[in-house]
A = this chain, B = another copy of it.
Amino acid sequence: MHSVVPAMRLADLAQTFNLQIAGDADIEIIGVCSLLPGKPRHLSFCADARLRSAIGQTQAGALVLAPRDAKTFGGNALIAADPAVAFARIAKQFDDRANFIAGWHSSASIADDAKIGADCWIGAGAVIESNAVIGANSFIGPNCVIGRDAVIGEGSRLEANVWIASRCRLGARAQVQPGAVIGSRGFGLARAKSGWIEVPQLGAVIVGDDVEIGANTTIDRGALDDTVIENGVKLDNQIQIAHNCRIGADTAIAACVGIAGSTRIGARCLIGGAAGIGGHLEIGDDIVILGLAMVTKSLSAPGVYGSGLPVMPAREWRKLVGRVRRLPRTAQRMQAIEQALKIKPSQGDSEVEQDDF
């Protein structure tokens, strides 16, 4: 099912990735490693000025370096304008997970009318339902379930235990980690006198090309229209995306973020871990939301946003919460003082009862 990664000469890597060489072009590289301690015959990199002092101490066989670092480094190096990007591209050559031998495991359940492209692997216990389409060169890992009429684009990798609902579509080169659930029922309920009435969720989830979906992440299908994940979106683990959301192209979302229903997020946003984003909001393009932020209103201006009270010793925190809760009383005391002194506060301060959320 997997093949072995061969060793590569530094000169071959330089040619393949169009990089300059310093040092011994013939050294053989058999893998990648951390800068420190580094391993002989392995390639590492330095892209962070704060780590520059470690370059001289590495035991790595070669480094990917920026031009200015390569000058002072006496060892073997590949020289790249952006060492992090160049290293990422090279390291992929040493990721043997990406290699597999095509075939269908005998315990997979594949519907007769499912369309499986050329050179796919269908793992043990995988279930491909009626009329589903799997693009060529895709890896469908063990115990994945692909619903009827679902479409998986070519070159995709669904690691294991992934569930793709009926009629949902993933674009080319999708990368889906174990336990991800794509197309679960949106949480649509109407309150009748007799209790909750289930609102059928008849839309789908439409995912663009080059999308990564993390482990145990859940994306609900739309109620009537679709939930949409645009091209190049990167989703970490345990993210929840509710029905009818739209995530713009190349937006990256860190783990444990929750996004409530019908919210639209723009392109190229960065959303920090465990941020919570309310429903029916519009988040513009190029917005950065810091981890654990509480987003209760739409944001349109590009920039960095955050919220929350960072950790402190618990005793101090408990007292501080008391102080915060007393702010209305503090305001009264301040007013009494101003009256005693005949200081007139500016206009805006009388509006303190109002807020914008």
- Residues of chain A touching chain B, judged by Cβ–Cβ distance below 8 Å, are 1-2, 31-34, 44, 82, 84-85, 87-89, 91-92, 94-95, 97, 105, 107, 109, 123-125, 127, 129-130, 141-143, 145, 148, 159-161, 163, 166, 175, 177-179, 181, 184-185, 187-192, 195-202, 210, 212, 214-216, 218, 220, 224-225, 232, 234, 236-238, 240, 242, 250, 252, 254-256, 258, 260, 273-274, 276, 278, 288-297, 299, 303-315, 317-331, 333-334, 336-338, 340-341, 343, 345-346, 348-349, 352-355, 357
Contacts and interface: CB of A to CB of B under 8 A. Distances in A.
B334 A341 contact: no
A327 B320 contact: yes
Copy number in the complex reads: 3
Contact of A311 (B130, B188, B242, B295): B295
A312 B307 contact: yes
Given A181-B178, A200-B91, A291-B278, A317 B306 contact: yes
B331 A334 contact: no
B92 A198 contact: yes
B255 A242 contact: yes
Nearest to A315: B304
A199 to B, nearest CB: 4
Given A294-B311, A314-B290, A238 B218 contact: yes
Contact of A331 (B177, B191, B323, B343): B323
B91 A199 contact: yes
A31 B203 CA distance: 11
Contact of A198 (B175, B328, B354): B175
B238 A240 contact: yes
Q: Give me the 7 closest cross-chain CB pairs, A-B, nearest first.
A: A184-B215, A109-B124, A304-B314, A95-B200, A323-B327, A181-B215, A322-B355
A337 B179 CA distance: 60
Contacts of A343: 333, 336-337, 340
Given A84-B199, A319-B353, 12 more contacts: A85-B191, A123-B127, A163-B179, A187-B255, A216-B216, A218-B238, A305-B317, A307-B312, A308-B309, A309-B324, A323-B352, A337-B341
B260 A254 contact: yes
A322 B341 CA distance: 25
A334 B312 CA distance: 24
B308 A294 contact: yes
A215 B89 CA distance: 34
A328 B318 contact: no
A197 B281 CA distance: 29
Contacts of A294: 292, 308-311
